[in-house]
Structure 1
Amino acid sequence: MFAIVLTSLFSFVYALPVRRVSDDQLVIMDDEIDYQLLIYGAATIAIGTVIYLVVKKTSPSSPKAIKQSVILPGDERIHISPLTNINEDGTPDLIEYTYEDARTMYEAMIRGNEQSKNGPCLGWRPAPEEPFQWLTYQEVLDRAYAIGSAMVVKGFSPGQNTYIGIYANNRPEWVIAEHSCIKFNMITVPLYDTLGDDACVHIINQANIPLVFLDTVDKLNKLLKRSDEMSMLKVFVLMVGEVSEEVKEACSSKGIEVLTFEEMLKLGQENKKEEQLPSPEDVFTVCYTSGTTGLPKGVILTHANMVADIASVFTHTKECFDVDSNYRHISYLPLAHVFERAMQGIVFMHGAKVGFFQGDPKLLTDDIQALKPHSFPAVPRVLNRIYDRVIGQVSSAGWLKRTLFNMALNSKRKAMERGEIRFDTIWDKIVFKKIQTMLGGELLMMITGAAPLSAETMLFFRSAMGCWVFEGYGQTECSAGCTFTYPGDMTCGHVGTVLPGCMIKLVDVEEMGYLSSEDKGEVCVKGPIVSKGYLKNEAKTKETIDADGWLHTGDIGEWLSTGQLKIVDRKKHIFKLSQGEYIAPEKIENVYIKSLYVAQAFVFGYSLKSCVVGIVIPDEEELMKYAKSKSLDMTFQDLCKNKEICEMIFQDMNQVAKNGDLKGFEQVKKIHVSSELFSVENNLLTPTFKTRRKQIENAYKSEIDAMYEQIEAVSPSPSGTA
């Protein structure tokens, strides 16, 4: 029996030669296929499949699906996790921690050291092609203690009044710097490039940060140029490499000392100071969000907040996998955001390993293949890129390859619909093995969040990867996640159900037609995962977290009949792109209308896309002046349809965007020019002349869709369109 199966497998292996064309791209060469072997393989594959499925051992299957949320008694229709116990007084017993001995992020690392018996903790690759090198848990703890001692030596007091900045890409020193702060109960404040220079200055001033860890001299110079605006900034610590005399002198002239990470280590090792460990209610970090107009807000998160969120995710998913000292996690999503830090918290708490990518997105696939991770967190943009690459290769291949691929995908999907998550079928061996190898070949879990993932892409990864693929929803204010796909739920189009560390209710948004009585409304979250508020911003805190402790997310949700939550709208018209970047369209529109030729602008983006597009109504008077200067005898309506005129408007808008400091992801990549003003009469403005965003979206849906099709077809040089 097995001989037939093996013959079939060898037929396909030798008939479909594979060639590597880049670091992360494998293709099957149609012109080198041995069709005699392929025909033989096709003739025997059905028999081989039957035999294989009969004799193979039972594969892992999903836990039995249960009712996905429980509604508490009362008019508010509060939903909780089915994993949450109810106290005698009828209140939910929301989970606060997983282990009694791990109630702070410090204790989590100590527990990991014990669980792993001082095993490998943080790994990195010194250079491409080289294997991962590792620091043990004790080495990480010792280095964190030394760095923390050095900060005290430099005059920075232990305790909750000291805020320390970390401005770096993911690397072992990031985690060591963070734990040096934890060891002395200081508060970490991450900085990151997309915040912008003004935001970084604002953060350092508001948090009164005296010391910043950095990974590059470029980042050091960026802060140094604005140092006159940050009088409290006294020390830079460069994580990597040496500091030139020129840089030292430049810093010294501004009253700032610059040290290397190694110098800080040596200083602390020679001058050990008494540690000051945190309690659960102490502040762990202040994480600034860039998701609104104006300056970013600093979200205050305690150790208890983070531990509760970690416990929620782990409790929710622990039936699917075991995290032990052999478990490996790939770290490439920014540590400046809470999602990655929460994921690492689960890893550290169980003594597992974190391997860091080299910092170059082009080398990420190579790093993954070297590490062979068990967990792979991703934003939709990354998964969409992989999906598009695979589907593109299949589409351009021959008929036989496409047929086999579709047969394999359909077979795996049917198994998935039966609740079977498997990676050992014959299809995995002959079709999906190369795809699985791209991500290391040993994945047990993929997690996506930050923006919606299309159902088609989700189904592909669940089928092709043979591992658990979860989707979560949350925000910094609730320590990362508040909902998560329930294990065993293979449906798409929602963000899962309530995590056991919180409660969720929907509240009426009458002006938008969303009523909680119809299971629609603004998503509100309450529980130990919810932030204490915003740093030095009581007004925004009260605006976001009400007197009863409910966090108002600003997202509009809908409860599905099976208990999952679906995000359907945004209360304040702020949305995310596929890479997770927030877009505030009204802020962007206010920049574009500064263009001489723009009277009205409407900026729009689908959350499954990575860029925004625009509907533009030109200023008729100025456009007619321009036409006259160019000797163009055309009506205003005809000018709005002219490609050269549209291109001129688009280029002027680009210049205005640069002058207005719009970030790359905020700039429209294509415009549609229309001659009809938004007005009260055509129902595109309210009586108070506010934009009716949904109505404009509906009115120009075909034009919007056409612009995205053109962007995807010709991505190198977006331009205006009539």
Structure 2
Amino acid sequence: MFVFVLTSLFSVVWALPVRPVSNDQLEIMDNEIDYQLLIYGAATIAIGTVIYLVVKKTSPSSPKAIKQSVILPGDERIHISPLTNINEDGTPDLIEYTYEDARTMYQAMIRGNEQSKNGPCLGWRPAPEEPFQWLTYQEVLDRAYAIGSAMVVKGFSPGQNTYIGIYANNRPEWVIAEHSCIKFNMITVPLYDTLGDDACVHIINQANIPLIFLDTVDKLNKLLKRSDEMSTLKVFVLMVGEVSEEIKGACSSKGIEVLTFEEMLKLGQENKKEEQLPNPDDVFSVCYTSGTTGLPKGVILTHSNLIADIAGVYEYTKDCFSVDPSYSHISYLPLAHMFERAMHGLAYIHGGRVGIFQGNPKLLTDDIQALKPASFPSVPRVLNRIYDKVMGQVNSASWLKKKMFYMALNSKRKALERGEICFDTIWDKLVFKKIQLMLGGQLRMMIAAAAPLSPEKMLFFRSAMGCWVFEGYGQTECTAACTFTYPGDVSFGHVGSVIPCCMIKLVDVPEMEYFASDDKGEVCVKGPILSKGYLKNEEKTKDTFDENGWLHTGDIGEWLPTGQLKIVDRKKHIFKLSQGEYVAPEKIENVYIKSLYVAQAFVFGYSLKSNLVGIVIPDEEELMKYAKSKSLDMTFQELCKHKTIYDKLFEDMVKVAKECNLKGFEQVKKIHVSSELFSVENNLLTPTFKARRKQIENTYKTEIDAMYEQVEP
């Protein structure tokens, strides 16, 4: 009876009008009760009874008890997907494509045009308050044809010997420029700011790029200053805005012509040239990896690579939700990376729509609410921000609202344990609706990439969003994904299982005591998603791809009993201490960030030293709470320099290290506390949010040397 009354009261409090959430406030709690709702008291009591008695489910799926990978006969213990057929000779029949009529990215767009009946293809918002405007599939194809024709008019030959640069943030012209290259079988080479100026010069020279599409005058000027070092560069195409006479003159003095995108469109429309369409094995793009050290490497990827990867992922997702002309995707992750381009391809091949955000991260939620996408691929940094904001508001709410939130979360968790993904239960209507509206209210798929989400956050998103939340793992060298969450699997702590377009094996790393016989070792991948190697870099190609065609990822994996892959370590970032012990810093960092007070950690050691030191960036929210409890009235920056904070941080890190069984030589003996997060913007993280270890070391060299003066004078 108590539960009946309690849930009825909860229903009254929570049955509030729902509205989209502003970008500045990811709010889920209102501080005022709309007293007009009291007239519905009787109805809400009935709703409370239903809450107590039943939770409706609408997207049931049985838990997958089957083993999620199959081991091929032989000593190598090669794993393939259970969805992969075996040929008569015992070899796996790896998926290379989904549709016979879509084996190149050009054919994918043509198929999308047919599937959608020339429906909306590419959308954008001209201004914050305006709705999305759309180009149809045929309009995109026509504009791509015109731009491609204009490039030929300017003297750039169709075919695989021409490399075209795209140096821009996501925008419709980016997609049109890429498809103009596809129509004339040219090769796209994306550039991006976080590569740095030296890397951009290296890429332009290595790929002999003669023409670059740019979205801002600032980027044009940045390249123009170094143009004397890039002899192949002949044409700039500014995607948006006008070109001043001053810029034209500056470019002309360097022997470079500058045109607007509209001028190129007009030129191509008036001088149509014969298309040269690609074959599946032709190179689609050279995608330069940001790298953690040294100059970036150009990964050569074919049309068949991308088509196979899309097919492998789609094979895992197609039974969970449909991708058709009603499907929409929000494009905000960089198109310079293959993950986002694969998501575009998944939409185009099925006639779906791609809406591109306005380019301002602060307006992203507004764009999402305007588009109401079916898919939202993301990275932990974005998802963590959403989670922290929501949970911060939950924990500051009244006891009643907080209690109801956790009751709802627990109910959805039990549904997940039964293998049910639910999006229209009563809990969704009364508790989670506002969170769902924050991301448009129509999500059916989220993808967490680049790094793992913690189990509690994965539980939150699967419950609150009521949609499939997939995780995956891969590298540019294998196009994008090589593992993905198996259909119906709602477990945590892994990156899914091998997808049907590749196979994976683990190989011994004896110096780190990882052995394939124990189902642990370096992750190696093979299949139609594998790159042809690195552009004009045979040495690095041989280092990464062995003579039998296996990609050596440098990541350490472990097969779980049910067949999923878990990434547990990194091979490349190991070093010896003076006593001869091998240290894997990323493994240690992953332990330290389990501390409540640690947001980021960087572990460092010299081979001539016997101890480790660390750079620690505290979790600002938790640190401020602790400071308040100690009556420390200071800014976050001031707290990071305070001895009380240092002692608390170090004490908690020692505790976590012991709980996780770090060996003595794996524990840092001294830390430096910094208030500035490692980020893409300060060049301490790659665009895929991996630590740039050499840059971090250089940035904090003074602090590192000072710590060693104290630890090992």
Instruction: Give the TM interval when normalised to the shorter protein.
Output: 0.7 to 0.9
| Residue number among 38, 48, 51 corresponding to 1:49 in the alignment | 51
Q: Give % identity.
A: 72
Post-superposition CA distance 1:272-326 (Å, at most 9, x none): 0111011011000000001231100000000111110011001111101111111
Q: Is residue 511 of structure 2 the alignment partner of residue 511 of structure 1? A: yes
Identify the residue that residue 26 of structure 2 maps to in structure 1. 25
CA contact (8 A) 2:495 2:565 kept: yes
| Residue number among 698, 708, 717 corresponding to 2:666 in the alignment | 698
Identify the residue that residue 441 of structure 1 maps to in structure 2. 441
Unmatched 5+ stretches in structure 1: 575-584, 590-601, 621-646, 652-669, 675-693, 713-717
Q: Is residue 225 of structure 2 the alignment partner of residue 225 of structure 1? A: yes
C-alpha distance in 2 between matches for 1:671 and 1:246: 58
One-letter identity of the residue aligned with 1:48: V
Identify the residue that residue 58 of structure 2 maps to in structure 1. 59
How many residues get paired?
Answer: 621
CA contact (8 A) 1:63 1:487 kept: no
Q: Is residue 417 of structure 2 the alignment partner of residue 417 of structure 1? A: yes
Find the residue that maps to 1:385 and give its secondary structure: helix
Identify the residue that residue 340 of structure 1 maps to in structure 2. 340
Find the residue that maps to 1:523 and give its secondary structure: strand
Q: Is residue 380 of structure 2 the alignment partner of residue 380 of structure 1? A: yes
Post-superposition CA distance 1:137-168 (Å, at most 9, x none): 00000000000000000000000000000000
C-alpha distance in 1 between matches for 2:605 and 2:280: 52
C-alpha distance in 2 between matches for 1:572 and 1:709: 28
Find the residue that maps to 1:144 and give its secondary structure: helix
Q: How far off its partner does 1:487 sit?
A: 1.5
Find the residue that maps to 1:307 and give its secondary structure: helix
Q: How far off its partner does 1:467 sit?
A: 0.4
Matches within 5 A, 1:318-357: 318-357=318-357
Matches within 5 A, 1:234-313: 234-313=234-313
Question: RCO greater where, 1 or 2, for CA within 8 Å and sep 6 or more?
Answer: 2
Find the residue that maps to 2:482 and give its secondary structure: strand
Identify the residue that residue 554 of structure 1 maps to in structure 2. 554
Find the residue that maps to 1:28 and give its secondary structure: coil
Find the residue that maps to 1:553 and give its secondary structure: strand
Q: How far off its partner does 1:29 sit?
A: 3.9
Q: Is residue 337 of structure 2 the alignment partner of residue 369 of structure 1? A: no
C-alpha distance in 2 between matches for 1:131 and 1:6: 39
One-letter identity of the residue aligned with 2:546: D
Identify the residue that residue 389 of structure 2 maps to in structure 1. 389
C-alpha distance in 2 between matches for 1:672 and 1:403: 31
Q: Is residue 88 of structure 2 the alignment partner of residue 88 of structure 1? A: yes
Identify the residue that residue 454 of structure 1 maps to in structure 2. 454
Post-superposition CA distance 1:573-608 (Å, at most 9, x none): 18xxxxxxxxxx99xx9xxxxxxxxxxxx9974497
Find the residue that maps to 1:267 and give its secondary structure: helix
CA contact (8 A) 1:329 1:373 kept: yes
Q: How far off its partner does 1:8 sit?
A: 7.3
C-alpha distance in 2 between matches for 1:240 and 1:267: 16
Find the residue that maps to 2:391 and give its secondary structure: helix
C-alpha distance in 1 between matches for 2:648 and 2:196: 29
C-alpha distance in 1 between matches for 2:567 and 2:463: 24
Post-superposition CA distance 1:621-676 (Å, at most 9, x none): xxxxxxxxxxxxxxxxxxxxxxxxxx99x99xxxxxxxxxxxxxxxxxx99999xx
C-alpha distance in 2 between matches for 1:355 and 1:112: 15
C-alpha distance in 2 between matches for 1:299 and 1:95: 22
Q: How far off its partner does 1:433 sit?
A: 0.3
CA contact (8 A) 1:8 1:44 kept: no
Residues 294 and 28 of structure 1, relative CA distance in 2, 3 Å threshold:
same
Residues 519 and 141 of structure 1, relative CA distance in 2, 3 Å threshold:
same
Using the size of structure 1 for normalisation, the TM-score is 0.80
CA contact (8 A) 2:21 2:438 kept: no
C-alpha distance in 2 between matches for 1:456 and 1:709: 26
Using the size of structure 2 for normalisation, the TM-score is 0.81
Residues 141 and 610 of structure 1, relative CA distance in 2, 3 Å threshold:
farther
C-alpha distance in 2 between matches for 1:320 and 1:6: 32
Residues 116 and 19 of structure 1, relative CA distance in 2, 3 Å threshold:
closer
Matches within 5 A, 1:654-693: none
Find the residue that maps to 1:178 and give its secondary structure: helix
C-alpha distance in 2 between matches for 1:455 and 1:708: 27
Residues 360 and 283 of structure 1, relative CA distance in 2, 3 Å threshold:
same
Residues 179 and 711 of structure 1, relative CA distance in 2, 3 Å threshold:
closer
Post-superposition CA distance 1:344-395 (Å, at most 9, x none): 1110000000000000000000000000000000001110000000000011
Identify the residue that residue 169 of structure 1 maps to in structure 2. 169
C-alpha distance in 1 between matches for 2:459 and 2:520: 26
Q: How far off its partner does 1:11 sit?
A: 2.2
Structural RMSD (CA):
3.5
CA contact (8 A) 1:214 1:237 kept: yes
Find the residue that maps to 1:388 and give its secondary structure: helix
C-alpha distance in 1 between matches for 2:466 and 2:416: 9
Q: How far off its partner does 1:611 sit?
A: 4.4
Q: How far off its partner does 1:398 sit?
A: 1.1
